Amino acid sequence: MSDVPFTPGLVDSTAAPARGAWLAWISTVDHKRIGIMYLLTTMVFFCIGGIEALLIRIQLARPGNTFLSPDAYNQVFTMHGTTMVFLVVVPLLLGLANYLTPLMIGARDMALPRLNAFSYWVFLLGGILLYFSFVSGHAPSAGWFSYAPLSEKGYSTRNGLDYWALALLGIGVGTIATAINLIVTVINLRTEGLTIRRLPLFVWMVLVNSFLIIAALPALNASLVMLLVDRQLHAHFFTQMGGGSPILWQHFFWSFGHPEVYIMVLPAFGIISEVIPVFSRKPIFGYSFVAASTVAIALLSLGVWAHHMFAVGLGPAWNYAFGASSLLIAVPTGVKVFN
């Protein structure tokens, strides 16, 4: 972060400027600064994720390539997927939400500034833990979805997976804290006259998105803890020996993982719904329909997870039900595009 210019105007009251720019940034609880730190951190991880993507493509450039060993390749694609989802796209949008939401609703800061700083630092800790796995000898290599029992101790004996679970746990806690913070901010700190029906669409998306995070992320956090208990304390949540179920991990993971797709795309939809009206110099065509379609997408997204599991053999009834709910999401998404 050495390239961040120190701007005296941004110093908040809690940090003493005399102690230097670094300390001011590290101890800040200012939403703009935290937003900027989120954005810069995601840029760093984006570069790392991009390098990993390049390594993958070099390996795949021709059949039978020996650029990476199978084991190294598996580590690289696992780290690439995990990095892009948890350390780039989600925190990038959280950073934007952090920076813009208080400005767009006329608030002086987020409702819970210290919690906001905590969210960022626990997210950074998660990112560092994930990459520390390389230093410890072996990065996780069970895919970003880490299907059990491949992710269990019997099949992933080295400790990369433990770093993976701990890192995601940290990031998950930070993300949930930010979501709570954003909800409280949008509900309580709107300026006078800014009713919920007049909220900018980006703020609408951030609000709905935060509820979605609160609904989805705890499922991941719980299953990460269960995986850790399996790996470290020899439990059997996700192994068929001892009465567990590998399918359970898939249900848990995707009941987080599919809402996660919308957690990543809803703020982006919000940005589009703000930018296009500005440059076409007219208000969005159907404000209430766009806002309502967001709510519809969020609700539907909680009921589509098993479309990642059509090949598991859940039986036709489940496959049809999840097929139908997944197709239905196209309708509110279409409403957004048309408007």
Partner 1 sequence: MHLSVFSPASPEAARLLWLWDACMYVCGFILAVVTLSMLYILVRYRRRGGNDAEPDQTTGNRKLEIAWTAVPLGLVGLLFGLSVVTARGVDHPIRRAPDIVVNAHQWWWEVRYPGEVVTANEIHIPVQQHTLIEIDAADVIHDFWVPQLTRKIDAVPGRKNFVWMSPEHTGVFSGACAEYCGAQHAWMRFRVVVDPPQTYQAWLGTQSATAAAPAGGDAAAGRQLFTNLTCANCHNIRGINSQRQYAPDLTHVAGRQMLAAERLENTPRNLRQWLKEPNVIKPGCYMPNLKLSGSDLTQLTAFLETLR
Rg of the Cα atoms in the chain: 21
Nearer to partner 1, 17 or 70 (CB): 70
Nearer to partner 1, 71 or 128 (CB): 71
Q: Residue 142 is encoded by which pair of tokens?
A: 């069970």
Mutual orientation of helices 201-233 and 287-301 as an angle, nearest 10°?
10
Query: Mind spelling out the 3-state secondary structure of 66-113?
Result: CCCCHHHHHHHHHHHHHHHHHHHHHHHHHHHHHHHHHHHHCCCCCCCH
CB of 228 to partner 1, least distance (A): 19
Nearer to partner 1, 19 or 234 (CB): 234
CB of 115 to partner 1, least distance (A): 37
CB of 327 to partner 1, least distance (A): 4
CB atoms closer than 10 angstroms to residue 268: 15
Q: What are the respective helix, strand and coil percentages of the chain, to the nearest 5?
A: 70, 0, 30
Nearer to partner 1, 22 or 338 (CB): 338
CB of 147 to partner 1, least distance (A): 6
Nearer to partner 1, 5 or 63 (CB): 63
Nearer to partner 1, 188 or 240 (CB): 240
CB of 200 to partner 1, least distance (A): 15
Mutual orientation of helices 330-338 and 287-301 as an angle, nearest 10°?
160
H/E run at residue 206 = helix 201-233
Instruction: List contacts with partner 1 (CB under 8 A).
Output: 69-71, 74, 142-143, 147, 149-150, 154-155, 240, 245-247, 280-287, 289, 311-313, 316, 319-320, 323-324, 327-328, 330-331, 334-335, 337-339
CB of 295 to partner 1, least distance (A): 14
| Cβ atoms of residues 123 and 90 within 8 Å | no
| Cβ atoms of residues 302 and 215 within 8 Å | yes
